[in-house]
Amino acid sequence: MNDSQVTGASAHYTEHHRRSIAEPEQYWTEQARQVAWFRSPENTLQTLPGGTHRWFADGELNTCYLALDYQIEQGRGEQRALIYDSPVTGHQVIYTFNELRDEVARLAGLLRQLGVTKGDGVIIYMPMVPQAAMAMLACARIGAVHSVVFGGFAPHELALRIDDVKPALLLTASCGLEFDRVIPYKPLVDKALALAKHPPEQVLVLQRPQAVALMQEGRDLDWEQGLRGAEPVDPVPVSSLDPLYILYTSGTTGKPKGIVRENGGHAVAMLYTMNQVYGMRAGDVWWGISDVGWVVGHTLIVYGPLMAGCTTVFYEGKPIRTPDAGAYWRIVEQYRVNALFSAPTAIRAIRKEDPEGRLLKGRDLSSIRHLFLAGEKLDSSTHQWLERLTGKPVLDHWWQTETGWPVTAPCLGLEGHLPAPGSSNRGVPGFSVHVMDEEGHLLKPGAQGSIVIALPLPPGCSQTLWGDHGRYLQAYLQAFPGYYNTGDGGYVDDEGFVYIMGRTDDVINVSGHRLSTGEMEDLVGQHPAVAESAVIGVHDEIKGQVPLALVVLKDGVQQDAEQVRLELIARVREHIGALACFNRVVVVKRLPKTRSGKTLRAVLRNIADAQPYSIPATIDDPAILAEIAEALS
């Protein structure tokens, strides 16, 4: 896309996008004025050898101050800051900004008392309890660097992260809660600490009544007891370049990548995101539906909404079975939620259980302005179903752990533009999105290739990997000099709308034809009997690869599975053509997913190709793999 060619968008958005790319330094200098810095930066942008960038190098600030104390100074002390809703325990607790600041200041005092100081690493391994958010904010308050590890990661994965961070302290809780199960965390932590080469000397444990953790004398400390002796502390100034957090994401090797988020760029990006992208204003109620262990949990549950003066809903529940597929609608009505973020997989789960939207009837959703979806491809069938059911605009947008905030989205605060169905929308200001072929040639509109972002990446995006800058350069900047390689494939149309077709390794090659499995999944998903599907490329002696569709049918479907199978084959043949060789459709009960809801395609490919595979640590339910293997045998 040529940045000056954006058409059909509001003049406001177009001008912002143009300026953000043509004059990034001036543009972000202006945006940075929204932040209440302790010391305003004068040096906006620096380019480093190797091609990475530094934003606001000489600025000083404190992220916790911006999220809490500053909001109180603006008169929001008695406004609801965080609403904790836990359907399994029946707890609903509301913290005002005053209350949350007091809790966090005291916890920060406790951390300091335990010897944690500015620059120290702290691992947080906790369920969705408000103390997890307090822990993140408390670290930020004293300049410690937190790394939240998704609660429920197996000890081996936790140990890998501990050894990479070498933390001064680990914070955990005695258990997490599934639909109808209590998951004791402490035995997992104990095992991880035994495996780790650099275990912290101290562990702070929040005891929950559902499972009381056994404490190891001399190492483990009780959270509540510790707080009783702690004095509140004030936020300390940190440099813009000091890391706020490290967040691990999976790479192509078994070693996770430690994404580093710097305080200064992050603060500018958070305000920009909440206001200009999501169109939120102080006082609004925002619900980011995810877990603190993922990037959405950082950006859209804790930091973004609080720093923008919004109320954040903090939900320790699931889309279904806590207690039913009406949970989302209950929360929206009860807390008058103005906008929410969810992953499409959650919506598909709701749709599978309640295709007619029975549980939504009678609920008052009038507070909702928009529903935002991201994290994976939003198939048109789920998109339309949700829009029809709720009567609200459903907006697809695209980003990654690395960027920390949306790369493409309808920018509501800039009067945006009408979304294009099937597209994850246009580049957000700061992101100049292009498509390249394997040799690094920019491709014309409509042509599929690797999606890249021209450097510099805007503020807030990770510019390095923790302890391994070389890996960052190699993983993201080496393939296409001057551009950041997103690892996603797709195309940009002639109006600048970006279509994400899946990871570049999901594009398959059938007899020399490049085909998107995402496109096939979309077609399969439009069949009324289909709840969800995964289309993967499997090895074929003659054609190189052929697609294989694994399909989950909706509950209560009357149609014969064989009939559905034949209809799907006919549908793809009709829409894409015989060249797709779409002949293999297998109906399965469930798909293997990561705990964050992403389908484990690489594992599916290995099973289908009868190759050895290891069970990923992130898998939600390993038993599914045996079911799939049997269905494919």
Question: What single-letter DSSP state applies at residue 39?
Answer: B
Closest CB to ligand AMP: residue number: 401
Dmax over CA atoms of the chain, in Å, equals 72
CB of 307 to ligand AMP, least distance (A): 20
Question: What single-letter DSSP state applies at residue 75?
Answer: I
- The Cα 298–Cα 598 span in angstroms is 18
User: From start to end of 437-575, where are the E strands?
Assistant: 449-454, 483-492, 498-503, 507-510, 513-516, 530-540, 544-553
Start-end of H helices in 129-222? 130-142, 155-165, 186-195
424 is a contact residue toward ligand AMP (CB under 6 A) = yes
- The Cα 493–Cα 407 span in angstroms is 16
Give the nearer residue to ligand AMP in terms of CB position, either 461 or 580.
461
380 is a contact residue toward ligand AMP (CB under 6 A) = no
CB of 357 to ligand AMP, least distance (A): 23
Kindly tell me which residue out of 469, 503, 575, 590 binds ligand AMP, with binding defined by CB under 6 A. 503
* The residue to which tokens 């197996």 are assigned: 154
Q: Are 212 and 184 in contact (CB under 8 A)?
A: no
CB of 214 to ligand AMP, least distance (A): 34
Give the nearer residue to ligand AMP in terms of CB position, either 190 or 376.
376
Kindly tell me which residue out of 3, 396, 519, 521 binds ligand AMP, with binding defined by CB under 6 A. 396
Side-chain half-sphere of 124: how many Cα atoms within 13 Å?
31
Burial tier of 345 (Cβ tally within 10 Å: 0-12, 13-18, 19+): buried
Give the nearer residue to ligand AMP in terms of CB position, either 12 or 503.
503
375 is a contact residue toward ligand AMP (CB under 6 A) = yes
Nearest residue to 67 via CA among 231, 304, 284: 304
The site string for ligand AMP over 554-583 (x = CB under 6 A, - otherwise) reads ------------------------------
CB of 400 to ligand AMP, least distance (A): 4
* The residue to which tokens 């204003």 are assigned: 281
CB of 476 to ligand AMP, least distance (A): 12
150 is a contact residue toward ligand AMP (CB under 6 A) = no
- The Cα 22–Cα 502 span in angstroms is 29
379 is a contact residue toward ligand AMP (CB under 6 A) = no
374 is a contact residue toward ligand AMP (CB under 6 A) = yes
Terminal Cα distance for the chain, rounded: 45
Kindly tell me which residue out of 161, 257, 348, 377 binds ligand AMP, with binding defined by CB under 6 A. 377
Give the nearer residue to ligand AMP in terms of CB position, either 59 or 419.
419
- Give the DSSP H or E segment for 199: none
Q: Which stretch binds ligand AMP (CB under 6 A): 90-98, 396-404, 413-421, 580-588?
A: 396-404
The 3-state DSSP class for residue 95 equals strand
* The residue to which tokens 């904010």 are assigned: 137
CB of 377 to ligand AMP, least distance (A): 4
CB of 478 to ligand AMP, least distance (A): 18
- The Cα 557–Cα 262 span in angstroms is 50
CB of 540 to ligand AMP, least distance (A): 25
The site string for ligand AMP over 215-254 (x = CB under 6 A, - otherwise) reads ----------------------------------x-----
Q: How many residues does the chain have?
A: 633
535 is a contact residue toward ligand AMP (CB under 6 A) = no
The 3-state DSSP class for residue 404 equals coil
Tell me, by CB under 6 A, how many residues bind ligand AMP.
Answer: 18
Q: Which stretch binds ligand AMP (CB under 6 A): 53-61, 92-100, 374-382, 604-612?
A: 374-382
24-32 and 263-272 helices, crossing angle to 10°:
80
Q: Which stretch binds ligand AMP (CB under 6 A): 7-15, 139-147, 394-402, 624-632?
A: 394-402
Single-letter code of the amino acid located at 356: E
CB of 249 to ligand AMP, least distance (A): 5
- The Cα 16–Cα 505 span in angstroms is 33
Burial tier of 43 (Cβ tally within 10 Å: 0-12, 13-18, 19+): middle
488 is a contact residue toward ligand AMP (CB under 6 A) = yes
Give the nearer residue to ligand AMP in terms of CB position, either 109 or 597.
597
* The residue to which tokens 């007091």 are assigned: 102
* The residue to which tokens 């290995």 are assigned: 606
CB of 53 to ligand AMP, least distance (A): 20
Question: What single-letter DSSP state applies at residue 599?
Answer: B
CB of 450 to ligand AMP, least distance (A): 12
Kindly tell me which residue out of 147, 338, 381, 401 binds ligand AMP, with binding defined by CB under 6 A. 401
96 is a contact residue toward ligand AMP (CB under 6 A) = no
Which chain residues interact with ligand AMP by CB under 6 A? 249, 295, 374-378, 396-398, 400-401, 424, 486-488, 500, 503
